Amino acid sequence: MTKIKKFGLGIIAAIVVLVSLWMYHAHGLYEESYRSEYQYGITIQSDSVLHNITLFVSLPVFEGESKIGNELMAGNVSKRDDWDCRIVETEHGKMLEISAEEIAPESHPLPVPPEPIEPGEAETPVSMSKGISATLAADHDINTKNPIGNEPLLSPEYNLTRSTCELPYPERRAPPNCYEYESRIYADYTASPDAKFSIYIELEGRNSWWVYGWSGNEYRDKVNVTLLGEKHGWYIASGKLVEGEGRYGWM
């Protein structure tokens, strides 16, 4: 019986050592791979040609400054060659001004159907075009649980209210907080009366790490608006903020 006990204690001790070694190694992977970054993007979609375009769109702003906007002005951000951009102060705060002579639909052909189709049965879809794409490394752990007042958010933001979140992802340990709000976009361009033009703006702040697979947590801020016909003025855009999404703790 004594030998059995000693053998059992030896097995337990070996398991403890192996688990400790694994945790030490896994924590090392976590520390080495950990990174925090912001991603900002503007995507557009148009089914008609727009002319002489001037837009004021949302920028990530924190304490009156936009680091991503500064990177854009420094030429460190991917953007369309036919867009001229600058940061402007408006009646709704700091925003990004985009100017272009023309925005035209970008489409791709439908796959060839197995059988002939009658005219009018299918149309060439209008694709979405990436106008601006930026990634900026953070010099701190991003506060993804409580970004309001602590992290950059898309500006302007009016009438922020709690809303119902989408269905939870399998990896989520706790439900996130979701909000809806109103934003503003200025649009000045000429177009046909039935032109349909959509603007999608997204900011994401994310902490991520690799421990036998990538994981992380994030907050996401989105603004979008769809405009019909020719426009000359300020328009209300829909905003949505999701905070506290993903995993907290490397285990």
Which letter, b or e, does each residue of 35-72 get, where b requires 16 or more Cβ atoms within 10 Å of its Cβ? ebebbbbbbbbbebebeebebbbbbbbeeeebbbbebb
The number of residues in the chain equals 251
Name the residue among 135, 163, 170 with its Cα closest to residue 243.
163
Q: What is the mean pLDDT of the chain?
A: 83
3-state SS assignment for residue 99: strand
Note the pLDDT of residue 174: 67
Note the pLDDT of residue 54: 98
| pLDDT tens string 49-65 | 999 999 999 999 999 99
In the chain, the amino acid numbered 121 is: E
Note the pLDDT of residue 121: 47
The residue extents of the domains of the chain are 1-33, 36-107+125-246
Q: How far is CA 115 from CA 111, 112, 118, 122, in A?
A: 11, 8, 10, 13
Residue 195: both structure tokens together: 């032109």
Q: Which residues contact 139 (CB under 8 A, 6 or more apart)?
A: none
Query: How far is C-alpha 234 from the geometric centre of its chain's CA atoms?
Result: 23
Lowest mean pLDDT among 62-66, 117-121, 178-182, 189-193: 117-121
Lowest mean pLDDT among 10-14, 58-62, 171-175, 197-201: 10-14
Confidence of residue 112 (pLDDT cuts 50, 70, 90): low
CA distance from start to end of the chain: 38
Q: How many Å apart are CA 202 and CA 6, to the nearest integer?
A: 61
Taking phi first (over 0 means left), then psi (-120 to 50 degrees means alpha), and beta for anything else, what does residue 3 get? alpha
* Whole-structure pTM value: 0.80
Q: How far is CA 15 from CA 19, 21, 37, 230, 245, in A?
A: 6, 10, 38, 71, 34
Cα diameter, the chain:
91
Note the pLDDT of residue 236: 97
The answer to whether 241 and 179 are in contact (CB under 8 A) is yes
Note the pLDDT of residue 169: 55
Q: How many Å apart are CA 39 and CA 244, to the nearest integer?
A: 16
Residue 214 has pLDDT above 70, yes or no: yes
